[in-house]
Chain A
Amino acid sequence: MELTHPVPADKWNLWNRVVLAVVFVWLIITVATNAIVDPYYVFRLVPLGKGYTPNERNAKLEYLLAHPRSHDAFLIGSSRMGVYNPAQASALRPGRHYYNLSVFGGDAVDSLVMLKTLKAQGVTIREVVMGVDPGTFLHPRSAADPSYRHHPVVTGEPRWRFLVDHLLVSSFYHSISKLEHFALETTSTPVLNFDFTTGQWQLVGRERRIRADPAGYRHEVFGSRPIPQAHPVRWLEPRFEEFRALVSWLHANHVEVYFFLHPLNWRERKALEPSALDEFVRRIEGIAGPVKNYLGKPEWRDDKHFYDPKHYRPYVAEALLRQLWLDPSTRPVQATTRRKTIG
């Protein structure tokens, strides 16, 4: 391991200084970017716009913990739930004050840990609506991505460690995205808006593009994609147990819960064998009882109802919520135990 090329010490000194200087400068840039641009909305030192955060898990919990009595009902699940309007849900359910607690890639584990934390912190949870996303039963979690990091109150880690990690985390992509979003916000053409007070996402840029040229948008987003072929699917077994744990906790805590299965874009539906979807429905209902099944709703299959192959537009969400609660056959998935009322 001894160096094979003898070199004067001063050259090595300079070399060491250059390497350490580069590392140090990069570190300063990283820390400054994370503190000032604050893409994960952790430090809030500089108000760079209001409608952007890639880490909903932290941002939504932060808001709810600061306002523990504002909400007692929650929309939960994955990003497919992101456009759901909690105000509409509250209007359809008088006496309930909804918040959109869905998160990117959110699954049963995410929902459960956040709900447990809220309850432990004194938030009343009376009702929950969850869109069950078959995608979360197929794909592994992105554990290392800072965007998926839960609030320190959820994980129990010291707040200082959470802050130090976010000072040093790699965030250039999200930092640039946030700066771009801020620039667009200030010129009145924002691309998206995240409302911390409701938890709802509004993809205003996409809506603008669709209204301006619906056919062009569909061609751009969907046109180049190949027609999918149906293949057998292997569901991630642990996800069903995690879902069961969520259902059990909700029942044990006397939470009125409504489950439904999201409508799927025809492409996504085509990529899954019908028997796989039937199995999925059967297994979900085996755990949660009868659920509203919108998987194959023909009126919601077309590309025009979607931003991309997975995410449908807000008016679809509005229609589904109306159907969910205005349908007299809808019943909460609630055990026959006595409901706990707010005292």
Chain B
Amino acid sequence: MLFNSPVFLLMFLPLTIAGFYWCTRYRDSRIAILWLLAASLVFYAAWDWRYLALLGASIGVNYLFGQRLRRQPHRGLLAAGVGFNLALIAYYKYADFFLANLNTATGGSIPLLALALPLGISFFTFQQIAYLVDAHRGEVSDGGFARYALFVAFFPQLIAGPIVHHSDVMPQLKRIVRNYRVGSNVVAQGLFFLLVGLFKKVVIADSLAPWVDPVFAAAGDATFFEAWVGTLAYSLQLYFDFSAYSEMAIGLGLLFGIRLPINFNSPYQATTIADFWRRWHMTLGRFLRAYLYIPIGGNRRGLARTLAALTVTMLLGGLWHGAGWQFLAWGGLHGLFLATAYAWSLGKIRLPLPLSRGLTLLAVCWAWVLFRAANIDDATTLWATMLGMNGVELPVLFASVADFLPGVSSVASSHFTGIEFVAVVALFYWVLTQPNVAERAATIVPTRRWAGAVSAAAIAAMVYLGQPSAFLYFEF
């Protein structure tokens, strides 16, 4: 069930909301929590019911570990709990990657497991690792099994985040009591996030896909222009797609009075690569910082240790995104960017802000090629093309420009007329200069103008809601 599917928007969501409000009004809070939990499990089962047991087992085992750690912190028990979660994700997500590489290295032919990746496993595993670590530190209180299960399985964030920290949500779940009321201002914000997020996904992100897919499907055939437009379009598609999902998740949470954390803060407006990682997938960054980077030393143990910690954190962060060498390479590239930026900052040399922002944006878009390409070979082929090493060809629309420039030719493109470049530049201008959805959500007022704007976004989204397409981050 996708957020942007009619079944979700018109059947599941209204039923869940109606049931929740009925439970809080006529029953006690436990029933309301159980109703939401049941709805969340139905949501998950709609994807693949076979993995419902896995989700249940993960929640149950982690809850038991957490209870023990809360009462009696024990490093061995913590290691076992974290190990359980890592083993789960290693088995389902990385086993075939490991086996395939082992076969390649040894010439063996161990059969691959061909396991389907349980949806959301990367997210709910990290959520629970954080819970166990904090339970060991004495930083969690017991909210009961139902609330814990709901904290993990709450459907708005279950499949693709935000990676919710227990401190974000558990106190809010404890406030769901009899006659619980969600303020109309909160509902309004929820509608805003949901409908604007839907607009971003179906109108903007999905419209960019035709400029991305053909380029990355045949990397060796892309021209200079196609490679650049495809890369820039993908940078925008990923941002709009992923931020849209997070915003829809936030909006859905608000409809139940639950505030999920913001996950994107205009990342392409970042001034440095470190700033980028404080704005992009913020909840993942928070997790990596608190539970990986800082525990392995952070920036407190000298330059060499800091650079190593940055690199290791980003390598593993890359690997989290996918079981493939290109993801590892993408993480490593960002680790290199961060390490370079950190070392540069120690020299206290400041670049002019526009240059710093431009370089950061260029580096991020450059690295996205690895993220999207089918493999590292395709990525390097596209990079070479983007550098003009395979010739510089512009589409026919720019033939007069091509004629003017030495070494530049024009070719009839299979995929582009040339106008796409204008659209991509316009979108980037918007993204780089305008407030983001969360910033706008804080300023809405109940006026006709805002009602018109939100309604128009919803109608536009419904016009485009022809064939629902999956959110890109579902693959993780």
Contacts and interface: CB of A to CB of B under 8 A. Distances in A.
Contacts of A172: 463
A141 B347 CA distance: 52
Nearest to B448: A18
Contacts of B413: 234
B172 to A, nearest CB: 13
A26 B462 contact: yes
A149 B450 CA distance: 36
B469 A22 contact: no
Interface string A134-175: 000011101111100100000000000100110111101000
B66 to A, nearest CB: 28
Given A144-B466, A165-B6, A231 B459 contact: no
Q: Size band of the A side of the interface?
A: 35 or more
Interface string B432-476: 000000100111111100110011001100111111010000000
A234 B411 contact: yes
Nearest to B206: A144
Nearest to B452: A22
A9 B462 CA distance: 28
B15 to A, nearest CB: 15
Nearest to A237: B218
A170 B464 contact: yes
A224 interface: no
A139 B191 contact: no
Interface in A227-261: 229, 231-238
Interface string A1-36: 111110101111111101110110011001000000
B462 A30 contact: yes
B451 A1 contact: no
A231 B189 contact: no
A172 B459 CA distance: 12
B262 interface: yes
A271 interface: yes
A268 to B, nearest CB: 12
A224 B12 CA distance: 52
A164 B7 contact: yes
B72 interface: no
Contacts of A238: 217-218
Interface stretch (B19-27, B180-188, B309-317, B380-388): B180-188
Given A4-B443, A15-B450, A15-B451, A232 B412 contact: yes
A19 B442 contact: no
Interface in B203-236: 206, 209-210, 213-214, 217-218, 221, 223
B289 interface: no
B10 interface: yes
Contacts of A232: 411-412
Contact of A1 (B259, B410, B412): B259
B412 A233 contact: yes
B206 A1 contact: no
B179 interface: no
A232 B462 CA distance: 40
B184 A9 contact: yes
Contact of A19 (B262, B438, B454, B464): B454
A136 to B, nearest CB: 11
A20 B191 contact: yes
A232 B414 CA distance: 10
Contact of A22 (B183, B189, B262, B458): B458
Nearest to A2: B442
Contacts of B321: none
Nearest to B396: A231
Interface residues on B, range: 35 or more
B415 interface: yes
Interface string A190-231: 000000000000000000000000000000000000000101
A236 B189 CA distance: 46
Contacts of A272: 412
Count chain B CB atoms within 10 A of each CB in A18, A20, A23 and give the residue with the most: A23
Contacts of A144: 206, 209, 466-467, 469
A202 to B, nearest CB: 28
A5 B445 contact: yes
Nearest to A23: B458
A175 B21 CA distance: 38
A7 B446 contact: yes
B412 A231 contact: yes
* B6, B209, B413: most-surrounded residue (chain A CB, <10 A): B6
Given A30-B462, A149-B467, A12 B446 contact: yes
A170 B465 contact: yes
Contacts of A142: 210
A139 B414 contact: yes
A11 to B, nearest CB: 4
Given A22-B455, A170-B462, A15 B6 contact: no
A144 B451 CA distance: 29
A106 to B, nearest CB: 18
A30 B463 CA distance: 9
Contact of A12 (B185, B206, B410, B467): B185
Contacts of A231: 396, 410-412
A19 B466 contact: no
A231 B183 CA distance: 62
B459 A15 contact: no
Given A5-B443, A170-B464, A16 B187 contact: yes
B455 A146 contact: no
A5 B441 CA distance: 11
Contacts of B218: 236-238
Given A138-B414, A238-B218, A272-B412, 12 more contacts: A1-B441, A12-B183, A12-B446, A14-B446, A15-B451, A16-B188, A19-B191, A19-B455, A27-B10, A170-B465, A172-B463, A237-B218
30 contacts: A1-B262, A1-B441, A2-B442, A3-B444, A5-B443, A7-B185, A7-B445, A9-B184, A9-B185, A12-B183, A12-B185, A12-B187, A13-B184, A15-B188, A15-B447, A15-B451, A16-B187, A18-B455, A22-B451, A23-B455, A139-B415, A140-B213, A144-B206, A170-B466, A229-B396, A231-B396, A234-B413, A236-B214, A238-B217, A272-B412
Pick the 5 closest A-B CB pairs, nearest first.
Answer: A15-B446, A12-B184, A231-B412, A22-B455, A170-B463
